[in-house]
Amino acid sequence: MSITEPAAHPLYLSPDYASTVLRAPSRGLLEFPADPEAMELTGPVFGEGEVTPGDADLTTGRNGDPIGERIVVTGRVLDAAGRPVRNTLVELWQANAAGRYDHPGDVHPAPIDPNFSGAGRALTDDAGEYRFVTIKPGPYPWRNHHNAWRPAHLHFSVFGTAFTQRLVTQMYFPGDPLFPFDPIMQSVRDEAARARMVSAFDWDTTVPEWALGFRFDIVLGRTPVEDA
């Protein structure tokens, strides 16, 4: 049985996303050595102190309330067997409600929000669950092709328990009309796999009189030797 889930992930070379053309490896990958002692099968271990309580709330910490639609984003980090990945670090970054990143490279003529940095982090709990409070990001234009717009998304970075599980992905919002036109989302060729990047609106996460809730579970890959 193959260790790979190739249809679940983009190819390196996805020419509709122009930046892949000069950056995609061209020689084929080397099979991961079947060595149960390989360092890649371990990873950082996180404890108390890795995050401080305010880190998971992107709506506080500056002088005032950020503009936009307050949302709660929560979900579980799971391994391929469905087990919760506890105490793992989740890093998040995103555009503000107007679709603008607080980054010098972003020249989209939309306002910076002085009360929104767009960065947060959290540790998962004993159930593998993380929870962020943030602002729903806006879509934004990019210069990949004529009239190119990214669907609204959150950037997620997750560690897991092995270096081989390291994952950076993007979380999208349900029903976005930009999905079919986005080469980054469409770089994932399998429709069911694309759907796993789309969060679900959730009444149980929604806080009355305060914020809509979205659920986004993150499943990390099998480690090569688990399967060997």
150 burial type by CB count under 10 A (0-12 exposed, 13-18 middle, 19+ buried): buried
Closer to other proteins at the Cβ: 104 or 208? 104
Strand ranges (DSSP E) for 67-194? 70-78, 89-94, 119-123, 129-135, 140-142, 148-150, 153-158, 167-172
Taking CA atoms, 62 is separated from 55, 69, 117, 136, in Å, by 12, 17, 8, 17
Given a contact cutoff of 8 angstroms between Cβ atoms, the answer to whether 122 and 158 are in contact is no
Q: Is 101 a catalytic residue?
A: yes
Given a contact cutoff of 8 angstroms between Cβ atoms, the answer to whether 70 and 135 are in contact is yes
Closer to other proteins at the Cβ: 24 or 67? 24
Closer to other proteins at the Cβ: 174 or 208? 174
Q: Tell me the closest approach of the beta carbon of residue 209 to other proteins, in angstroms.
A: 30
Closer to other proteins at the Cβ: 94 or 205? 94
Element (H, E) at 200: strand 200-201
Q: Is 108 a catalytic residue?
A: no
Q: Tell me the closest approach of the beta carbon of residue 111 to other proteins, in angstroms.
A: 16
| From 76, 100, 153, 172, active-site residue | 153
- Which long-range CB contacts under 8 A does 60-66 form with residues at least 24 apart? 61/117, 62/114, 62/115, 62/116, 62/117, 63/114, 63/115, 64/114, 64/115, 65/115, 66/96, 66/97, 66/113, 66/115, 66/116, 66/135
Can you tell me which residue has the tokens 């429709």?
A: 191
Q: Is 140 a catalytic residue?
A: yes
Q: Tell me the closest approach of the beta carbon of residue 42 to other proteins, in angstroms.
A: 6
| From 17, 100, 101, 172, active-site residue | 101
| From 121, 131, 155, 189, active-site residue | 155
Closer to other proteins at the Cβ: 103 or 145? 103
Q: Which residues are catalytic?
A: 101, 140, 150, 153, 155
